[in-house]
Structure 1
Amino acid sequence: MKIETRLFIAGAPLFFLAAIVYGFWTYSISPDGHWEPVGTLGILLVGAMVFMVGFYLMLTAKRIDERPEDSENAEIADGAGDQGVFAPWSWWPLAIAGSAALAFLAMAVGWWIMGIAVPLGIIALIGWVFEFSRGTHAH
């Protein structure tokens, strides 16, 4: 995870610099001499999120063994084997997507639909989180 960590942590100052440039630029082109705070804050928050992802990857890289991708002398066969635990048979992501679609429909059609979407989303999220506590293929 070394390359990912470097990529994210080195990318964060780029967003901070872009926020400063954007703030000054919007101030200079504004006819009434005001800067645009929403865009500047949005770019600053993106920089903070990029830094947080890089920091998380740095902490994770310290806890796990070196991956074949991090070694200069690694062979393709070094990456063979299990890569993690995945749930390809899970139907819960489909339920979460359906409740998210209902939530977006509520913003367009009527807020009363949100009363249906939120409970369905909570049930789907709980089902997805606790899916493996019931055992493999135990739906």
Structure 2
Amino acid sequence: MKAEAWIFASCTIFLVLVTPAYWLVTDASDHGGDWTGTSALVMTTLLTLMVTIYLGFHANKMDPRPEDRKDAEIADGAGELGFFPPYSWWPLWTAMALGTVVFGVAAAAWWLGIIGIVLGALALVGWIYEYYRGEHAH
């Protein structure tokens, strides 16, 4: 995790240098620099700084992973990597319900938005509980 901390630290340093430069370059008028871009860069800088600090603290407290050690073998990284779910139709239905809600809002058809919200709630419940019943039940 030290490598990830250094990557985010370099991004933070880059953004600390770029943000004031952006403010000065966009200062074309007497009204000040571009508030939108500058505030977005400031928030991005703070977010990368937050990730840098988090990774830096945890990198010092953790044992090095096999990919972090120079003397590691390929077999050191073997083992279970996690649970990878099989195919699922629920993301499709959830996305279609969200599309219905968005179309209902864009077309000012409140009734279509309500239908989309109800269908989206059903699809989301189906997606969450898909491993408790049916073919993939545990």
- Fold similarity call, TM over 0.5: yes
Q: 1:137 to 1:42 in 2, by over 3 A?
A: same
Aligned counterparts of 1:114 and 1:6: Cα–Cα separation in 2: 46
Partner residue in 2 for 1:79: 77
Partner residue in 2 for 1:98: 96
Q: 1:119 to 1:49 in 2, by over 3 A?
A: farther
Structure 1, unaligned stretches of length 5 or more? none
Aligned counterparts of 1:66 and 1:73: Cα–Cα separation in 2: 11
Tell me whether 1:138 sits opposite 2:137 in the alignment: yes
Superposed, 1:23-102 pairs within 5 Å as 23-27=23-27, 29-30=28-29, 32-58=30-56, 61=59, 65-102=63-100
| SS of residue in 1 equivalent to 2:136 | coil
Shift of 1:41: 0.5
Instruction: Normalising by structure 1, report the TM-score.
Output: 0.67
Shift of 1:36: 0.9
Report Cα offsets for 1:53-100 as digits up to 9, x if no partner: 334444555676432111111222222221122323344433443344
Quick one: which amino acid aligns to residue 80 of structure 1?
A
Q: Percent identity?
A: 38
Partner residue in 2 for 1:13: 13
Aligned counterparts of 1:54 and 1:128: Cα–Cα separation in 2: 34
Moved more, 101-110 or 35-44: 101-110
Aligned counterparts of 1:101 and 1:47: Cα–Cα separation in 2: 33
Structure 2, unaligned stretches of length 5 or more? none
Quick one: which amino acid aligns to residue 25 of structure 1?
V
| SS of residue in 1 equivalent to 2:83 | coil
How many residue pairs align between the two structures? 136
